[in-house]
Structure 1
Amino acid sequence: MTTFKILSFNTKGITQTKCEILSDLNADVLCLQETHKESAPPNIHGMHLIVHHGHAGHGSAIYTRDKSTVPSSHDFSEEGMEILTVTTTKMVITSVYKPPPTPFSWPHITNPVNKPNIIIGDFNSHNTIWGYDSNDSDGEAVEGWAASNDLTIPYSSKDKHTFSSTRWKRGHNPDLAFVSSQHFSSFERTVGDPIPKSQHRPIALQTKPVVKALESNSIPRFNFQKAKWEEFTQDLDSKITCIDADPSKYEYFRKLVWEVARKNIPRGYRK
């Protein structure tokens, strides 16, 4: 019944305030871009830093809530792109940051075919598939890379934009997530609320439970199968005799029936 949540966020410079907000988002794996830290980024309460790529102007990091589930991690960053990977007991998760002027390229990475492959981060590329008006060379390169690696993008035009430009007063979608196609139906994507001091919104991929719990209405109901009908009849008969046969006594009669029913018929609701 439990789900697994992967969160990605371009911090535009990690701060203690942002760390506190990110800690409250309850991610199992947290991928950060643009930490602006050459050394290790700061601690996030409840999370463990697994791997980071230091850079004063960029910088990436991956945190996890339970480090015992991460047997390995790697930094595949090259040619200006920051690519960090952690392998958990159930899936492979890769954080991506492509600076705007850097052409999109992808190193040779071999991932297990039997595990879901999650690639998430800031791709800084334009493509009509994920909501832009036109394609640029990076957007076409990302589209071709996804197709050749059998990756599917969980994107809906109804989702909120992942980036809001304060200068141009427009929204865009540089932050993307890709899932191995055979595991695509097991995940759902959401876009979070804005975080101060960053124009990006966090995006999350969350596993869907095999069985989804449904909340029933918490309205108490009488269990007539377990009612003590004989006692109910005796109590009601003994108390009705004191009521005058007059329409004005109806409300009193109704309350009396309710009182006797509560006493002799179990009452509750399904969980």
Structure 2
Amino acid sequence: MDTVVQWNIRGFRRNFEDLKLLLNRSQSAVVALQECRLGEGQVPPRGYTLLLPRGGSPGGEAALLIRNGTRFSEIDLKTGLHAAAATISLEKTLTVCSLYLPPNSPVSKLSLAELFEQLPKPFLVLGDFNAHSPAWGDSRRDGRGRMLEEFTAENDLIILNSGEQTFVHSAYHSTSAIDLAVASPSIAAECSWAAHSDLCGSDHFPIFLTFTSNFSSNVNTTSFNFKKADWNRFGDLCKLSLDDSVADIERFTSKLLDAARSSIPFHKGTKNKIRVP
């Protein structure tokens, strides 16, 4: 079963030996790297091809490693964002994009939309978004996190994160969840997400995405159609069913999903993991 890895490596040369160990252990078909800080002439680990941003995308901060023998087609992205992408043949064909969004650089829905529109479906966008939101396990919500929540909902995208922390601040030892895996709906149900227990020399944990045995088949998937949601009804149902007495997380989630099913229609002909709105 093929594995895809994403990792903010915090310096390709600095953590090159750790990267080689990670590749040897995981035998990953594809690795999406961020904060590579690459210069010209960088040699990839043995057995892998290194893809850097092409076209209008600035280089050095995002890259893909693709295992030799894996069929792929590089995508010439037209974007000002730090991104590299390729369409790759695993059990089935999908697009993998590595993305790095610096914390202090402005990012708009438009710039994200222009990038995502260039990615053939199904796709995985893997990267350090530097976006905070409880929706994917962070303890706080910032402006970029709120924008990303809206962007994924408006474009029917699924964030695969489990809620685990992905970043450890080297000075304060605080943690956050800023490394995200964003998927188109058709592959989300067949993909599992897990963070490594070792930082491997970086301040971000490597993240492993593995596909189920159903990945090679054509599976119709389903998600909520947020564009047709009755948000007033959803809010009213939440007020009625959610109160201080709902302390158990499973019961809370169940009641929240009941409210969603009663006020948000599904896309037709789909059946997939349900996203909590």
TM-score, structure 1 as length reference: 0.68
CA deviation profile, 1:194-220 (whole Å, cap 9, x unmatched):
244311111121111139xxxxxxxxx
* Structure 2 counterparts to residues 1-271 of structure 1, below 5 A: 3-15=1-13, 16-24=16-24, 25-52=26-53, 59-66=61-68, 68-78=70-80, 81-89=81-89, 90-105=93-108, 106-108=112-114, 109-112=117-120, 115-157=121-163, 159=164, 161-210=165-214
Give the 3 Å change call, closer, same or farther, for CA 17–68 of structure 1 in structure 2.
Answer: closer
Asked if 2 retains the 8 angstrom alpha-carbon contact of 1:50 and 1:67, the reply is: no
Q: Indicate the RMSD between aligned Cα atoms, in angstroms.
A: 2.3
Asked if 2 retains the 8 angstrom alpha-carbon contact of 1:7 and 1:31, the reply is: yes
Residue 67 of structure 1 deviates from its aligned partner by: 5.3
Residue type of the alignment partner of 2:119: N
Distance 1:107 1:152 in 2: 15
Residue 66 of structure 1 deviates from its aligned partner by: 3.6
Asked if 2 retains the 8 angstrom alpha-carbon contact of 1:51 and 1:74, the reply is: no
Distance 1:60 1:75 in 2: 12
Give the 3 Å change call, closer, same or farther, for CA 39–156 of structure 1 in structure 2.
Answer: same
**SS of residue paired to 2:181:** strand
**SS of residue paired to 1:166:** coil
Residue 70 of structure 1 deviates from its aligned partner by: 0.5
Asked if 1 retains the 8 angstrom alpha-carbon contact of 2:53 and 2:82, the reply is: no
Residue 98 of structure 1 deviates from its aligned partner by: 0.3
Asked if 2 retains the 8 angstrom alpha-carbon contact of 1:104 and 1:141, the reply is: no
Distance 1:23 1:76 in 2: 30
Residue 68 of structure 1 deviates from its aligned partner by: 4.8
Between Structure 1 and Structure 2, whose CA radius of gyration is higher? 1
Give the 3 Å change call, closer, same or farther, for CA 75–64 of structure 1 in structure 2.
Answer: same
Give the 3 Å change call, closer, same or farther, for CA 30–91 of structure 1 in structure 2.
Answer: same
Distance 1:165 1:52 in 2: 27
Residue 73 of structure 1 deviates from its aligned partner by: 2.4
Distance 2:178 2:136 in 1: 9
Moved over 6 A (4+): 53-56
Residue 18 of structure 1 deviates from its aligned partner by: 2.8
Distance 1:55 1:144 in 2: 26
Residue 163 of structure 1 deviates from its aligned partner by: 0.8
Residue type of the alignment partner of 1:17: E
When structure 1 is superposed on structure 2, of 17-26 and 200-209 the one drifting more is: 17-26
Identity %: 24
**SS of residue paired to 2:27:** coil
Residue 133 of structure 1 deviates from its aligned partner by: 2.5
Residue type of the alignment partner of 1:147: A
Residue 38 of structure 1 deviates from its aligned partner by: 2.9
Query: Where does structure 1 lack aligned partners over 5 or more consecutive residues?
Result: 212-271
**SS of residue paired to 1:88:** strand
**SS of residue paired to 1:177:** strand
Distance 1:167 1:173 in 2: 17
Residue 123 of structure 1 deviates from its aligned partner by: 0.2
Query: Where does structure 2 lack aligned partners over 5 or more consecutive residues?
Result: 216-277
Distance 2:107 2:53 in 1: 20
